[in-house]
Structure 1
Amino acid sequence: MAEEMSYSAAIEEAGQVMCRFPLKHVDGVPLMNLIVDRWDEIAAFTPDPSDMLIATYPKAGTTWTQEIVDLIIHEGDAEACRRAPTFVRMPFMEIVSPRPIPSGLDLLNTMDPPRVIKTHLPFKLVPKGFWENKCKVIYVARNAKDNLVSYYHFDRMNKTQPEPGPWEGYIQKFIRGELAWGSWYDHVKGFWVERERRNILYLFYEDMKENPRREVVRIMEYMGRALPDDVIDRIVELTSFQVMKENPMTNYTTLPKSVLDQSVSRFMRKGEVGNWASHFSPSQSREFDEDYEHQMGGAGIPFRTQL
């Protein structure tokens, strides 16, 4: 709890100088300049073999999966999982913010293994230590159209990433991989290709929405855990969108408006499959689908845009 208070105080102190940071590139992937400036340190991070990595493209179900994993670890104990906000309990490995806010690595260095670690890095940039130490890795993928819509609204309210600009231009930036953390297409394909060789549990956001209990059980079994049915049911309830949206430890309302302005858009906004249809015009949808076929042809990843 002391760590949570110091982290929150640091954010408040730095909040007045927060700005939208420009993007720089690492191996062709655009990242916030502060991340790139400390890239050597991030790339050299060596996890413990007991650590677990939760990897996603931004806005693909990261926080949802983190909460499921934490509740499995704590056997459905909701109070234990309210010990601190998500970003303190399960640090965002590569994130770097202005001082005195601790970086993801700073937080990880205060924690003893086993740790649950978050990343948005594409496969090719994940520190090699995760593969060398055979860490468990959960990857969550969300269909491109819904992911794009969610990321657009996130960039509107996230005061640390570049201005999203108009919707029609944002679509093109997504297609070209010009957003922070790069190309969605490369991201989902990179982990998909490696999933069997690296023992990656590859999940789909749409499957989690369709049958959350089934996917909680899959995560639990991958983690090597066994919980009674009533505990599994409790975890499903506690990780429902509505419950998490009202939980200050998961909804990011502990961050100040200078970082995430939730008056612009809620961090947990809709959590639906198919919401893209209310954003894309028919012509935008057709053009996107044509490009999608070009970029994803032969990938064989079974995404669904509706349930």
Structure 2
Amino acid sequence: MDNKPDVFRRELVDVQGIPLFWSIAEHWAQVASFEAQPDDLLISTYPKSGTTWISEILDLIYNNGDAEKCQRDAIYKRVPFMELIIPGFSNGVEQLKNMPSPRLMKTHLPVQLLPSSFWKYNCKMIYMARNAKDVAVSYYYFHQMAKMHPEPGTWEEFLDKFVAGKVSFGSWYDHVKGWWEKRKDYRILYLFYEDMKEDPKSEIQKLLQFLEKDLSEEAVNKILYHSSFNVMKQNPHANYTTLTKEEMDHSVSPFMRKGISGDWKNQFTVAQYERFEKDYEEKMKNSTLKFRSEI
């Protein structure tokens, strides 16, 4: 497409103090007025926190473990990204209008920007959180290959932006804490990436209980197998290789890179780690939310 400079690598634009892709900001009225339905299921995550993984698991649950049904289309069409609007490429709001119920969708919006219809209908929501250091590393590599983001700069520069919340969808700290508080008043199941890594079966049981679904042992085992990192990494319907190179360049860094806990140790210098931890303690001190940085 000739309009590449117009669409990609543009600076973020603030919406109510949260930096978002310029195109989401430009079409914000369309996002804000999104009309949820009572049987919608919303997956909410801060970017790079296992969004595609939990989306694949839930699509498998919705299809009773039938992996063939989950090959019907790419994950970003099976589980649309509600607020993602890129002129000439995608429009999550429009995509969802044409989707049969019950709809499965995802968002990266912080809790205060979520369209009000989700609260009005008290929709079920699943929030997946991942420790900050692994998110920062994964997000840095993602910025390199996903061209909707501004250029990340060096790791040091990116880490500073991440800590300051000057990245798409704002501050990780505010995001995880905002949804953590909201779960007290709404039907939100709050999960942790590290728990899912450590014991995926018991986390899938939590999901089934929350969704009031009863699946056979055989179906659960199929879900475990088809949602494992190595199987998803090879699955073109889950690994984003169906997008064009100008949207995501997998030769720079694959979309599904490592999928592990504790990879931050390979990236952070001692000085960066110490600075980060000090800032982290300050920002998280009044929250009951606790993360594990490795398993």
TM-score category, normalised to shorter length: over 0.9
The equivalences for 1:1-307 within 5 A come to 18-99=7-88, 101-307=89-295
Unmatched runs of 5 consecutive residues or more in structure 1: 1-11
Secondary structure, in 3 states, of the residue corresponding to 1:220? Answer: helix
Instruction: Give the superposition deviation at 1:14.
Output: 7.1
| Conserved 8 A contact 2:84-2:90 | no
Instruction: Give the superposition deviation at 1:251.
Output: 0.1
Q: Aligned-pair RMSD on alpha carbons?
A: 1.3
Instruction: Give the superposition deviation at 1:90.
Output: 1.0
Secondary structure, in 3 states, of the residue corresponding to 2:260? Answer: coil
Secondary structure, in 3 states, of the residue corresponding to 1:160? Answer: coil
Q: Distance in 1 between matches of 2:110 and 2:8?
A: 25
Instruction: Give the superposition deviation at 1:102.
Output: 3.1
Deviations 1:159-215 (A, max 9, x none): 111000000011110110000000000000000011121120000000000000111
Q: Distance in 2 between matches of 1:213 and 1:14?
A: 45
| Conserved 8 A contact 2:43-2:55 | yes
Instruction: Give the superposition deviation at 1:98.
Output: 2.2
| Conserved 8 A contact 1:14-1:98 | no
Q: Distance in 1 between matches of 2:183 and 2:224?
A: 25
Write out the 4+ residue segments of structure 1 that deviate beyond 6 Å after TM superposition.
12-17
Partner amino acid, structure 1, of 2:28: W
Deviations 1:140-174 (A, max 9, x none): 00000000000000001011110000000111101
Q: Distance in 2 between matches of 1:26 and 1:17?
A: 20
Compute the TM-score of the two structures, normalised by the length of structure 1. Answer: 0.94
Partner amino acid, structure 2, of 1:80: K
| Conserved 8 A contact 1:143-1:303 | yes
Secondary structure, in 3 states, of the residue corresponding to 1:127? Answer: coil
Q: Percent identity?
A: 47
Instruction: Give the superposition deviation at 1:243.
Output: 0.4
| Conserved 8 A contact 1:141-1:203 | yes
Deviations 1:117-155 (A, max 9, x none): 110000000111111101100000000000000000000
Q: Distance in 2 between matches of 1:199 and 1:16?
A: 41
Deviations 1:18-54 (A, max 9, x none): 4212211111000011101111110111111000100
| Conserved 8 A contact 2:161-2:167 | yes
Unmatched runs of 5 consecutive residues or more in structure 2: none
Size of the aligned set, in residue pairs, is 295
Instruction: Give the superposition deviation at 1:230.
Output: 1.4
Partner amino acid, structure 1, of 2:274: R
Deviations 1:48-94 (A, max 9, x none): 10001000000100000001101011000000000000111111000
Secondary structure, in 3 states, of the residue corresponding to 1:161? Answer: coil
Compute the TM-score of the two structures, normalised by the length of structure 2. Answer: 0.97
